[in-house]
Amino acid sequence: MQDEYRTVARAGVHETEVNRSRFLCALAPAATEREAQEFVARVRAEHPTASHHCYAYVIGADAAVQKASDDGEPGGTAGVPMLQMLTRRDMRYVVAVVTRYFGGVKLGAGGLIRAYGGAVGEALDALGTATRRRYRLATVRIDHARAGKLHNDLRSTGREVREVRYGADVAIEITLPDADVDRFRGWLADASAGSAGLELGGETYG
């Protein structure tokens, strides 16, 4: 698995104009291919009178799924340059839809390639990008008497506490970079006087 990936910081729309044609680039994070397709469908429904809804998406931290559509524009002039812009910027788990309202002036193949790719690039600049890093999910188990202090110690050392569950003992869910697991075991033993246990779970990005 990749240790980190970049994606769009937030969903949004950025508009550009080329020779009186309007290009609205809608960008959004997408965790799965289905989410990406649903986003395309929503954008299409929001602009029923537009000339074209071209799209591209990259799913997977390793960019395993890549799709693009020209939606009626000449082959290779819309979806492909959009996808190339996403991959050139190392974007992952992201979907881009460029909605075009034709302005009456034909742009030619070169003009279309620049317009569609440029719309995605400008939208990425406008909305910003974020880096997601790979973490190991982990659960710290400790008795009720020591749980409050340990919880505070975790927060004060910058650990992300995702959830706290109370049962026979207290389970505190955290995330750890893989490289920090051994160091954290040592810290936990010292902080809890050896009374806390650590259970490692799966991996996530955050």
Q: So where are the chain's domains?
A: 4-127, 134-205
HEC profile for 106-173? CCHHHHHHHHHHHHHHHHHHHHCEEEEEEEEEEEEEECHHHHHHHHHHHHHCCCCEEEEEECCCEEEE
Question: The pTM is what?
Answer: 0.72
CATH architecture of 4-127: 2-Layer Sandwich (3.30)
**Tens digit of each residue's pLDDT (9 = 90 or more) over 76-127:** 999 999 999 999 999 999 999 999 999 888 889 999 999 999 999 999 999 9
CATH code for the part of the protein at 134-205: 3.30.70.240
**Tens digit of each residue's pLDDT (9 = 90 or more) over 57-82:** 999 988 999 999 999 999 999 999 99
Q: Do domains 4-127 and 134-205 have the same CATH topology?
A: no
Quickly state the pLDDT bin for 1 (edges 50, 70, 90).
low
